Structure 1
């Protein structure tokens, strides 16, 4: 039976098991050593802005090592440097990288469906060109803000085709590269990246290429399977906060990051998507999951603060869902958790 067709309790158990497996893999001595070697060879931090859409799972699609990429996720139009909350998270990331003597590569992304326009980003009315232009504006705002920064800050725009889970890398001169192209290889990929972004610092380019190659490999693996194109939404979980990097399976959860002062719009949107999935028979009607989570490092005070914020986020989200989709509220399994950054472990909180 397909995961999305299982009873809600089994789906929740599956998700919690995914978190446990992710933590175990992260702390496994051999894998930890391999990850440290990777970071030593490719130290540039990668920041990604992405929509809450559950079909958009770039860490999975780029075969990224655990914990390498940092994501800022919200409804597309709310991911803008004109919002101080979002801008402060971007600045924090860049400052942390600079403290380590590193520049920053920022992927500003939008998503679309290569086969059905109406299955694109609902936040932009499924207008892919509007989404693309908005991303170029965000990238330009970032570029202008940090043009005089001591370390290079390089934003670039990428589209993501949810049909085939492949990136479309945009260049500054209107050219683009579709990573689903079966003719691509490691050598040609480097040539293309240099052609699209000739001013991208070499160290950032060298650290970005393995992730691009990961997406080339991922797209090729999908072509070799008979999974079909995952066109429609099938999300059954609404995740609020951060610490959800253990969710590596696409089309499972709408992930809403804490990057907007108003949770109303993104949570309402997610609730409508999940409720519609039930109504359309894409997922069982027996229930959905609301999972809140906040990050913490080791420390009693920081842990207590994360616990408070996680529970508060769940309360706020549940109230919004009750107002938007009251029937869905009655079918919700609600869980609150905190996520240990050092151990990459999810810790459930008692009700």
Structure 2
């Protein structure tokens, strides 16, 4: 179990160094593509939008919950999302909101466990959330532009849902010239502001590269099926983008016990089916990793209290629902420096 803890610490160190090394690249990217990109996505460990779009770390603002289920009526989500919008507006920028769902073309049970592998229900729910954003911020306001995007995890292809029921699978695009992509997406989203459209195109180009790399290299079974062994709860997991390692539960759902319970159940299944899954999860057990973010030293002590609370709460939920998992569980509570993505162990 200590090996797993050490692996997480080393992984954070590696990705923190990468994040800091990419500072100039990130600043250059944002100067050329200033649109704020917010992503609502599932806690699934196989879903990492910077990877499938080949963008530098720190470009996208992620919100995670089981199945990509969200409601702007949730107080913390309402406030956090609105702060992102206002910050972008204060900097003179618009916001592109990617409301996502995911599925597997090859096997329904490699799809979204949060929706019991029902892709159509997942699409209906996320589309309703997209409409909720429109209703909240105004139809065709030109500042906040939410779109529904699917991710087919076998080939890492983004599926864009446009106006009038139009659907575009990026894996079907043959001509990836900027001129052609702008033409395609202009037709898909005729009301999308030009600035947002121009900043969407690099994400599409990155996805085309990712799809080609997946075609060339293929995917092993451990990349396709659930193999997560880390239950990550809280905020500050942008660095944790090793595929299929962690289920990440954000703090936004007022009934947070349910996504924690579901995530623990998935990991329990992973641990019980190590041999049949033939994947990266091992029988050594799981790690409960809670995290809170701070931006300046004055916030650090408050962040420590948040991560310790989330850790205690998660342990209580696991003990209540899966008491047998406690013997297989190692707990880590950390705080994360937002400027460096470097974490510090609290408990």
TM-score normalised per structure 1: 0.92
1:298 matched to 2:296? The reply is yes
Show structure 2 runs of 5+ residues with no match: none
2:162 paired residue among 155, 171, 176: 171
Q: Are 1:256 and 2:249 counterparts?
A: yes
- 207, 213, 235: which one aligns with 1:242: 235
Asked if structure 2 preserves the Cα contact closer than 8 Å seen for 1:27 and 1:343, the reply is: yes
Structure 2 CA distance, aligned partners of 1:176 and 1:151? 22
Structure 1 portions without partners, runs of 5+? 1-7
- Residue of structure 1 in register with 2:153 after alignment: 162
User: In structure 1, how many angstroms separate the alpha carbons of the residues matched to 2:140 and 2:89?
Assistant: 9
Alpha-carbon distance change, 21 to 77 in structure 1, aligned in 2, over 3 angstroms: closer
Cα displacement (A) at 1:148: 7.3
Contact in 1 for aligned 2:159/2:169 (Cα 8 Å): yes
Aligned pairs, number: 340
How far 1:178 sits from its partner (Å)?
1.2
Cα distance, 1:106 vs. partner?
0.4
Deviation, 1:184, is 4.2
**2:314 alignment partner, one of 313, 317, 326:** 317
Counterpart Cα distance in 2 of 1:260 and 1:35: 30
* Cα separation, 2, equivalents of 1:184 and 1:122: 35
State the superposition RMSD in angstroms: 1.8
Tell me whether 130-139 or 265-274 shows the greater mean CA deviation. Answer: 130-139
| Alignment check: 8 A CA contact 1:182 1:220 kept | no
Rounded Cα–Cα distance in structure 2 between residues aligned with 1:226 and 1:172: 33
1:1-351 superposed matches below 5 A: 8-28=1-21, 31-76=22-67, 78-147=69-138, 152-181=143-172, 183-187=174-178, 188-228=180-220, 230-281=223-274, 282=277, 283-300=281-298, 302-349=299-346, 351=347
Q: CA deviation at 1:327?
A: 1.6
Aligned equivalents of 2:175 and 2:306: distance in 1?
45
- The equivalent residue for 1:5 is none
Q: Secondary structure at the match of 2:238?
A: coil
Deviation at 1:212, TM superposition (A): 1.7
In the aligned structure 1, how far is the partner of 2:58 from the partner of 2:72? 24
TM-aligned CA distance change 1:77 to 1:42, over 3 Å = closer
Tell me how far 1:78 sits from its aligned partner: 3.6
Residue-by-residue CA offset, 1:52-105 (whole Å, 9 max, x unaligned): 111211122111211110111012364122333322222121111111111111
Q: How far, CA to CA, are the matches of 1:42 and 1:280 in structure 2?
A: 44
CA deviation profile, 1:8-45 (whole Å, cap 9, x unmatched): 433432322221122212223xx322221111111111
Residues 293-340 of structure 1: CA deviation (Å, up to 9, x unaligned): 01101133x110000000110000011111121121211111111111
Mapped partners of 1:17, 1:132: distance in 2: 37
3-state SS of 2:224 partner: coil
Q: Cα–Cα, structure 1 residues 344 and 77, in superposed 2: closer, same or farther, change >3 Å?
A: closer
Further displaced range: 46-55 or 276-285: 276-285
Partner of 1:260, secondary structure, is coil
Q: Secondary structure at the match of 1:21?
A: helix
Contact 1:77 1:124 in 2 (8 A): no
